[in-house]
Amino acid sequence: MMICNLLIIMVAFLAASVLGDYQSYLLSPNYYSGTCDGVEDIVREITWNRVAANYTLPAKLIRLHFHDCFVRGCDGSILLDSTANNPAEKEAIPNLSLGGFDVIDEIKKALELKCPRTVSCADIVALAARDAVSYQFGTPMWTVLTGRKDGNISRKSEVLLNLPSPFSNFSTLNQNFVNKGLNARDLVVLSGAHTIGVGHCNLFSNRLYNFTGKGDQDPSLNRDYAAELKTKCPSLAATSAVYMDPITPEEFDTNYYVALKRNEGLFQSDAALLNDTSASSFVELLINPSVFLSEFRRSIVRMGNVGVLTGQSGEIRLNCSVVNS
Ligand code: HEM
Ligand SMILES: *[C@@H]1O[C@H](CO)[C@@H](O)[C@H](O)[C@H]1NC(C)=O
Ligand SMILES: *[C@@H]1O[C@H](CO)[C@@H](O)[C@H](O)[C@H]1NC(C)=O
Ligand SMILES: *[C@@H]1O[C@H](CO)[C@@H](O)[C@H](O)[C@H]1NC(C)=O
Ligand SMILES: *[C@@H]1O[C@H](CO)[C@@H](O)[C@H](O)[C@H]1NC(C)=O
Ligand SMILES: *[C@@H]1O[C@H](CO)[C@@H](O)[C@H](O)[C@H]1NC(C)=O
Ligand SMILES: *[C@@H]1O[C@H](CO)[C@@H](O)[C@H](O)[C@H]1NC(C)=O
Ligand SMILES: *[C@@H]1O[C@H](CO)[C@@H](O)[C@H](O)[C@H]1NC(C)=O
């Protein structure tokens, strides 16, 4: 009897913690059922076709989702073009190497044909990010909650204030995440997206050549790795791109954390994750692929909920790069 009660309590607790993760959200797992059945199949088919022909797209698309969510919430504002009197988010410095816009446009076009004025650009970004990363696994790796509406504002001036910088220390990065309702755990887990894609030399070459302004190297950077990076970024002014995960740069896996533990994190913001005791022990746990995947599922859903517009707020944009007229 007691064991039975205990079981019930445990099951109830587990259910509450799972549901709790979703219940606080304004979005839902089957938002388009009845209004655009098959939406997820269409997004997946187009995304997988594009990724099959271009391996750089998973990194582009998941970064697009991140940049969308951290500036004005996940409202598709990253997709808007500048207008005569308003430079858009796209124009800001961290837009360097943003990409995948054409994939979003191709999906939008197909969805406007199938179910006009129904699926938001913000939801397309979230779905395409999931599908692009999932291509490697042949199956969707996390649930995307949908029902986001599109915003009608995109300002270049808001980007630097909201996006974390690759030069930041742990406490500043943590604050960037807390400002979005996320936490240190999300910071460590979502940084794991740096298991794919590239970073440009100018964002870390200070660590190689002039860390404290005395022509020195960052002592927290692995010396052999630094030597290798110097061949790819021959001077402070170099602008080429380097893979962020030196072990398996194109696989979505946990080698980002393996490299990080060897002091081979590319940016100061990566290395900073070792500079906080509990973050650093969490990094250790995330080397286990099943721990990483279950944590990533949870954190990316939390990120996808940041500042969303729902119901009567926002619109379903007809063209992802311009607000409806
Ligand atoms: C913790 C704070 C973060 C900082 C400071 C940061 C910073 C950066 C920087 C500076 C780059 C290189 C851009 C370039 O050189 O063109 C980059 C690339 C990238 N970031 Fe982050 N990032 C952070 C978090 C995230 C998150 C949360 C995600 C996604 C969930 C993400 C996904 C990516 C991906 C996939 C790339 C590679 C893009 C490509 O290959 O084109 N990052 N990040
Ligand atoms: C990034 O901003 C620059 C100007 O700062 C602009 O020329 C470029 O087109 C922008 N990139 C994207 C992808 O919008
Ligand atoms: C792959 O996609 C990226 C990002 O959109 C783009 O810059 C690049 O030109 C594409 N490569 C090919 C071969 O199409
Ligand atoms: C982190 O960086 C911020 C901003 O540069 C600075 O004010 C703060 O003192 C730094 N924190 C630590 C622990 O170094
Ligand atoms: C290194 O940094 C110092 C201090 O900011 C600066 O005076 C010096 O010019 C830099 N060296 C190079 C090679 O840029
Ligand atoms: C980590 O902290 C130490 C001292 O607390 C500091 O010297 C070092 O620069 C920090 N590293 C990073 C990447 O923030
Ligand atoms: C932008 O959206 C807000 C809120 O949905 C709305 O009140 C406003 O009229 C819109 N502005 C433009 C220029 O469409
Ligand atoms: C969307 O708007 C942009 C900017 O006005 C335009 O270049 C593009 O052709 C439009 N796309 C579609 C599918 O109408």
Separation between Cα atoms, residue 285 and residue 290, nearest integer Å: 10
Q: What is the pLDDT of residues 236-261, one digit of tens each?
A: 999 999 999 999 999 999 999 999 99
- Whether the per-residue pLDDT at 1 is higher than 90: the answer is no
Cβ count within 10 A of residue 211: 16
For atom 5 of ligand 7, the residue with the nearest CA is 314
Tell me the pLDDT of the chain averaged across its residues. 93
Output the pLDDT for position 25.
Answer: 72
* 67 classed as catalytic: yes
Q: Residue-wise over 168-190: b if at least 16 C-beta within 10 A, else e?
A: bebeebbebbeebebebbbbbbb
Residue 24's pLDDT is 58
Measure the CA dihedral 270/286/57/120, to 10°.
-100
β 241-243/198-200 pair status: antiparallel
pLDDT in tens, 92-151: 877 668 999 999 999 999 999 999 999 999 999 999 999 999 999 999 999 999 999 999
* Beta-ladder partners of 28: 146
Atom 12 of ligand 8: nearest residue by CA position: 319
- State the burial class of residue 269 (Cβ atoms within 10 Å of its Cβ: 0-12, 13-18, 19+): buried
Which residue, by CA, sits nearest to atom 7 of ligand 6? Answer: 220
The response to whether residue 220 sits with its C-beta less than 6 Å from ligand 6 reads yes
Structure confidence by residue, pLDDT tens digits, 161-189: 999 999 999 999 999 999 999 999 999 99
Check residue 184 and give its pLDDT: 98
pLDDT score of 15: 42
Confidence at residue 142, expressed as pLDDT on a 0 to 100 scale: 97
Task: Give the pLDDT mean for 303-317.
Answer: 97
Out of 50, 67, 90, 207, pick the active-site residue. Answer: 67
Verify whether ligand 2 is closer than 6 Å to residue 291 (CB atom): no
pLDDT of residue 93: 78
Rounded Cα gap, residues 161 and 163, in angstroms: 6
Mean pLDDT of 14-30: 61
Q: Which residue has the higher pLDDT, 92 or 12?
A: 92
Distance 81 CA to ligand 8 centre (A): 10
- Measured from the alpha carbon of residue 211, the closest ligand is 5
What pLDDT shows up at residue 16? 40
**H helical segments located in 170-288:** 170-178, 184-190, 206-209, 223-232, 255-261, 268-271, 277-286
Q: Where are the beta strands (DSSP E) in the chain?
A: 198-200, 241-243
